[in-house]
Structure formats: structure tokens, C-alpha cells
Structure 1
């Protein structure tokens, strides 16, 4: 078993432990309890929801949990999940990803041995209108290229 698979199993066990009523989702009460035990501030709690609750329903499903932690198998990824990822990395909320924001995407995708120059090359390759940043559509093409063989559903 690879170290990635071992980490994934451990994180899934943690999800199960946090899901105290064992309904397969983390509801507001469970999340409040988790945040309180971890000593998170109200701002940190908002950040938790922003990163983990991709559809904004105040529930964190196992799929959302896996996606937020980068452990979800990406055989098929939903467009709304890509929107969530895009919005998470779009730190300045410009609607576009800059080179530094793309660096974060690449690092969190597990690609660590990449230079700034290589990232700039990726950006140029997928930046179809040559404006120096990636739109959501350009991001989708780039992200799926990083995860070859996957499709948007």
C-alpha cells in the first residue's frame, strides 16, 4: 500500500470519528464541536466551511472532505467541485488564477518538484487568451491535464 493510500485511509478514519451520529456527513453541530475542540476562532470556522463545504449546504459530505484534502480519486470530477477548487485558490477573488495561485494548485495536487519557470510555462500553455492568468474554463483544462485521463461530469 502506498503512503498516499495509507494517509487517505487515516483521514477517512478521522472523518468517521468526527461523524458522531454516523450519517455519512458532518453537520453543523459536529463541525461546531470539531472547531471548538480545536480552538478555532469564528473566522477559522468560516474558513473551514469555505474550504470543505463546496455546495454551501452547511454539511460536509465525505466527497467534499476528500476533495478539500486532495485525497479524492479524480476518476470523474464534477464541474461544481472544480468551481469549488477554483474559488478556493482564487485568493484575491478576481475570477482568475495568477501564477502564484496556480503554484498553490500544483503543490496541493502533489507535484512538488516543479520550478517557478515550469509553472509559468504551464500558465502560458493553458492561458488561451494570453492575459497572464487562467479563467475558470482555462483552469479546468489545465487541472484535468495535470490529472490525465479524468473527465468532468
Structure 2
């Protein structure tokens, strides 16, 4: 009988929300402005109008200081199935129900991240519980749910 109290599966990166926040916070000032939010949405291929960006800011910026803090961002992070599916679909560029290393690389490159496709394959592998080399929606949901609870 083992006395090791480690969980059987390693948890996904516990700082995932912080890393996503940092991608939005392009000037690294610890807060996301409307311009930064608009820039990331544009990089992801979502042409949000200024009015849509304003509505998103109003929804997320709960303290009404004109910026999104890490705490506000974490509270807004996708939690229900439809929000998670919408986030998943941003990465699933070919809409085949799975995220490949190539798709992840394309999105991260658009966001200004400098990582190779091989690096992206490693990221995929870290959450790929069925070992098929892709992240399906269930794996994505588990990763995002674990990240939100940390």
C-alpha cells in the first residue's frame, strides 16, 4: 500500500488564467484596457465593434475603473458550457472538434507569443488525456475548469 498522497494525474498549469491574462495585457501594466481587449479579439479573428468592446468592458470591469484586473478577468473566465465552447471554437480553427498543435501555434502567434509548433505540441500533450495528440472539448473543459478553481 502506497503512502504517496499525490493525485493520480498531474493538474494542468495552475497559473493558466494568469498566463492568458498576460497575453491580453500587452503593455504588462497589470490591467487590460479596452484597446488591449480589442487587439486580442482582432488577433483571434473576432472583429468586435467598439460598442461590443465597450459592452464587454462594462460586463467584466466590475469595479468600474476602466480596466480589467486579474481578479476581474479570473471571475469572468469561461465557466459555463456555452462560454467554454465559444472559447474552444476560437482555437479550433478548422472546426473539427479538436485543437491541434498547428492551430494552437497559429493562435499563439497571432497573439504575439514566440513559441514553436513543437512547443505547442508539448502544451497539447500536457492536457491530452486520451493520447490522440489533440485537445478535444472535454479535455479543454477539464483544463479550464481546473484552472478556474486554482
The higher relative CO (CA closer than 8 Å, separation ≥ 6) is in 2
Relative to the length of structure 1, the TM-score reads 0.47
Relative to the length of structure 2, the TM-score reads 0.48
